[in-house]
Structure 1
Amino acid sequence: MRSDYERDDELPAWASKLMNLTLFQNLVLRPVRQHKLISHRVMSSLILPEFKGSTVDVSIIHAGQITVPAVYILQSPIPGHDLLDIPCYSFLIENKRRKKVLFDLGPRKDWREKLPPTRSTMKTDGSLKVLGQIESARAVVKIEQDVADQLSKAKIPLESINTIIWSHHHMDHTGDPSLFPPSTELVVGPGFKLDKTTSLGYPMNADALVNDDAFLGRNLVELDFSGAVNIGGFLAIDLFQDGSLYLLRSNGHSEYLYTVMTGITNTFKIANNHISALARTSENHFILLGGDVAHHPGEYRPTEHLPLPIEIRPSPLDKVTCSASACPSYIFENISPTTAKAKGKKTKVTPFYELNAALNEDLESAEASLDKMTVFDGSANVLIIIAHDASLLDILPFFPKKITDWNVEGYKEAGAWRFLKDFSRAISQPM
Structure 2
Amino acid sequence: MKDLDSRMPPALKAVFAGSEDILGMHEVHDVPDTLKEHAIDLSSINAVIWSHAHIDHVGDPSVFPPTTELVVGPGLKASCLPGYPTNPDAFVLDSAFDGRSVREVDFANSTMTIGGFRAVDFFDDGAFWLLEAPGHTGHHICGLCRTTEDSWIFLGSDACHNVAQLRPRQFRPLPDSVPASLLGSFYGLAPGMHEDLAAAEETVGKLKAFDGREDVIVVIAHDATLLEVLDFFPLDLNSWRLRAWSAEARWLFLKEFDRIAAV
TM-score (norm 2): 0.95
3-state DSSP class of the match of 1:273? coil
Runs of 4+ in 1 over 6 A off after TM superposition: none
2:42 aligned with 1:158, yes or no?
Answer: yes
Q: How does 1:24-423 map to 2 (within 5 A)?
A: 108-117=1-10, 129-138=11-20, 139-195=23-79, 198-228=80-110, 229-254=112-137, 272-310=138-176, 328-330=177-179, 333-337=180-184, 352-423=186-257
Name the CA distance, whole Å, in 2 between partners of 1:274 and 1:409: 31
Task: Note if contact 1:335-1:427 (Cα within 8 Å) is conserved in structure 2.
Answer: no
1:205: Cα distance to partner? 1.8
3-state DSSP class of the match of 1:279? strand
Name the CA distance, whole Å, in 1 between partners of 2:164 and 2:76: 30
| Identical amino acids, percent of aligned pairs | 43
Task: Note if contact 1:162-1:184 (Cα within 8 Å) is conserved in structure 2.
Answer: yes
> Greater relative contact order: 1 or 2 (C-alpha under 8 angstroms, separation 6 or more)?
1
Task: Note if contact 2:3-2:27 (Cα within 8 Å) is conserved in structure 1.
Answer: no
1:247: Cα distance to partner? 0.3
> Deviations for 1:79-137, whole angstroms, at most 9, x for unmatched residues?
xxxxxxxxxxxxxxxxxxxxxxxxxxxxx3112112110xxxxxxxxxxx321222243
Name the CA distance, whole Å, in 1 between partners of 2:142 and 2:34: 23
1:336: Cα distance to partner? 2.1
Stretches of structure 1 lacking an aligned partner (at least 5 in a row): 1-107, 118-128, 255-271, 311-327, 339-351
Normalized per residue, the structure richer in strand is 1
Amino acid at match of 2:15: Q
3-state DSSP class of the match of 1:414? helix
> Deviations for 1:161-207, whole angstroms, at most 9, x for unmatched residues?
11101000000000100111111100111112222xx1121112212
Name the CA distance, whole Å, in 2 between partners of 1:399 and 1:232: 28
Amino acid at match of 1:411: W
Task: Note if contact 1:244-1:279 (Cα within 8 Å) is conserved in structure 2.
Answer: yes
> Deviations for 1:9-60, whole angstroms, at most 9, x for unmatched residues?
xxxxxxxxxxxxxxxxxxxxxxxxxxxxxxxxxxxxxxxxxxxxxxxxxxxx
3-state DSSP class of the match of 1:373? helix
Task: Note if contact 1:279-1:288 (Cα within 8 Å) is conserved in structure 2.
Answer: yes
Task: Note if contact 2:62-2:96 (Cα within 8 Å) is conserved in structure 1.
Answer: yes
Stretches of structure 2 lacking an aligned partner (at least 5 in a row): none
Which structure has the larger Rg?
Answer: 1
1:261 equivalent in structure 2: none
> Deviations for 1:325-351, whole angstroms, at most 9, x for unmatched residues?
xxx212xx213227xxxxxxxxxxxxx
Q: Give the aligned length.
A: 259
Aligned-CA RMSD value: 1.4
Name the CA distance, whole Å, in 1 between partners of 2:129 and 2:18: 36
TM-score (norm 1): 0.58
Name the CA distance, whole Å, in 1 between partners of 2:142 and 2:221: 10
Name the CA distance, whole Å, in 1 between partners of 2:259 and 2:42: 44
Name the CA distance, whole Å, in 2 between partners of 1:420 and 1:407: 22
